[in-house]
Amino acid sequence: MNRDQLICLISPPKRATSRLIPNALISLAAWLDKEEIPNSIIDIKREPTVEINGREREEIIAQILAEIKAKKPTYVGLPCYSPDYYDVMDLAKRIKIECSPLKIIVGGIHATVKPQDLVFPDSPVDYAVVGEGEETLVDLIRRDLDGGEIGEIAGLAFCADGEFVLTSERKPLNLELLPMPAYQKIDMQYYLKPTRYLIRLLLLSGVSIFTTRGCPFQCTFCANRERKVRLRPVEMVLDEIQWLKENYSIDSFYVQDDTFCLKEKRVFEFVEGLKQRGLQLVWGAETRVDLLTEPILLSMKRAGCIQIDLGVESGSQKALDRMRKNIKVDQIKSVFKMCSKYGVRTFATVMFNTPGETEDDVRLTVDMMREIKATNYGLNLTVPFIGTKIYEEFVRPELTVAEYWLYDDPDLYHSIKDLRFRLAAHNLDLTRLYMKTLLGFQLWRSLLDVTTNQRYWRAILNSKRRGGYIWAFMQGLYRQMKTYLRYAMNFLKKKDLYR
């Protein structure tokens, strides 16, 4: 047993080209450090232009296995979303075969909503963490090392004598106790290369941060089950941003909370803190149209916010009500008009193939897109993921584990992969609808997105990475064109197989 390296947290091979910081892993690593449990993060990276084919994936796995063998941990931790299922399970098998003895722990959304998919007789996974991982992981490691009763640990699933065991639910963590995420344990120079995936479609170097956990709303397409919103103290968030600026010279940040504008007073406190600390950064945030007021918008803009991402989903009130969005079409139109008035960029997420969608719903959505004139759009066909209300209602029979490959298709959001994934009530060709809307609203914007925002250009001209922006722009343009070409080929070859 290596007490100098008790646990390695590992990014799955599929995430090797992701430019999004693995927030869950660096939060867990920081908590383990706080509890004096030796740990490390294995996060093998490739440039986004690299295609993770079979050969490339084998090389990544070989690097992961080599690092595990060198570190000799007692435990390995892996995150798992439903699209990662096969990637994670295959890696777990390889680790068990080549690096034993050690125990494998899997957490994340899939482990929370379907832990029985991960722990079963003869599974390479020993434990599944259900819910937040920080406290559960520490309790598990300490009790397992001391030979204690694992069944007394809340938020855990495992097999005992061939039977599936799910322990009691763990209470949500007090976010005031969270330490600074362990950024130093990942390759920050890789993550800080300018990218169009931070403040979406706007080329910038920076990080995504969370200031809250949980969401009180109940959208039927979302698998988030934590309804109670917990808040990180604003001063802690500001300390983190200031530390990132001082240590990594970030140009920007993106607030990834589902409900950043939930509490108006807190937003004001946050933006005032940015100004008082002299943090001249550009930033963006995600929020709901019913939470964004004019005073909030103006305060955010004055503190450097240049883009707000808003969940629009549909221009049909009936469709929004079926999704339990709890917003009004008039609110959508009013908020986008307000953002345009004050020169704040907008990114509107729009979904087709929503539950019970009619041709009239589609028409109303397209009409609304023409009216709101968002700076950019995120267009997708709705996918019923495991753990969502729409999965429970529409996917009958439920997917078997052998069918999880459906979630691992690169064109998942652009064409219907299984009849059970068709949620719309109309008979329109959804692939054709997607391509037509993409060409009309998103294609030229995403390829040639240029802003006149002075704060944005000052951030780039003053950046320590300004030399990398041109190269990143060319790389991003190449990737976008390649992606859209794949969509077009998929459209020409397959169209919509399930009408």
User: pLDDT exceeding 90 applies to what percent of the chain?
Assistant: 82
Q: Which of 150, 166, 182 is the last residue of a domain?
A: 166
Report yes or no on 175 lying in a domain: no
In this predicted structure, the answer to whether residue 494 has a pLDDT above a threshold of 80 is no
**Please, what is the angle between helix 329-341 and helix 294-302, to 10°?**
40
Same domain, 149 and 271: no
What CATH number should be reported for the domain holding residue 123? 3.40.50.280
pLDDT of residue 498: 55
pLDDT of residue 279: 95
pLDDT of residue 490: 66
pLDDT tens-digit readout, 155-199: 999 999 999 999 999 999 999 999 999 999 999 999 999 988 899
Among 138, 86, 85, 81, smallest CA distance to 112 is for 81
Report yes or no on 179 lying in a domain: no
Q: Which of 133, 166, 199 is the last residue of a domain?
A: 166
Same domain, 130 and 234: no
More confident residue, 418 or 467: 418
Burial class from Cβ neighbours inside 10 Å (0-12, 13-18, 19+) for residue 354 reads buried
Same domain, 233 and 138: no
Same domain, 288 and 229: yes
Report yes or no on 112 lying in a domain: yes
Report in angstroms the alpha-carbon separations of 450 from 96, 151, 347, 350: 49, 56, 14, 22
pLDDT of residue 58: 96
Same domain, 483 and 389: yes
- Local confidence band at 3 (pLDDT 50, 70, 90 cut-offs): low
Token couple for 405: 């490959």
Range of the domain at 231: 191-493
Report yes or no on 177 lying in a domain: no
pLDDT of residue 495: 52
Report yes or no on 181 lying in a domain: no
Q: Which of 128, 150, 166 is the last residue of a domain?
A: 166
Same domain, 330 and 432: yes
Same domain, 292 and 342: yes
In this predicted structure, the answer to whether residue 281 has a pLDDT above a threshold of 90 is yes
In this predicted structure, the answer to whether residue 462 has a pLDDT above a threshold of 80 is yes
Min mean pLDDT across 297-306, 399-408, 447-456 is at: 447-456
Same domain, 332 and 232: yes
- Local confidence band at 439 (pLDDT 50, 70, 90 cut-offs): confident
User: pLDDT exceeding 70 applies to what percent of the chain?
Assistant: 96
Count up the domains in the chain and report the number: 2
Query: Mean pLDDT score of the chain, rounded to an integer?
Result: 93
Report yes or no on 422 lying in a domain: yes
Same domain, 348 and 213: yes
Report yes or no on 185 lying in a domain: no
The identity of residue 406, as a single letter, is L
Token couple for 305: 């916010």
- Local confidence band at 249 (pLDDT 50, 70, 90 cut-offs): very high
The identity of residue 448, as a single letter, is L
pLDDT tens-digit readout, 92-137: 999 999 998 999 999 999 999 999 999 999 999 999 999 999 999 9
Same domain, 51 and 158: yes
Look up the pTM and report it.
0.93
- Local confidence band at 475 (pLDDT 50, 70, 90 cut-offs): confident
Same domain, 200 and 329: yes
What does residue 332 show for φ and ψ, rounded to 5 degrees? -60, -50
Same domain, 146 and 201: no
Report in angstroms the alpha-carbon separations of 328 from 219, 314, 344, 412: 14, 10, 21, 28
What CATH number should be reported for the domain holding residue 461? 3.80.30.20
pLDDT tens-digit readout, 37-70: 999 999 999 988 788 888 999 999 999 999 999 9
Report yes or no on 453 lying in a domain: yes
pLDDT of residue 245: 97
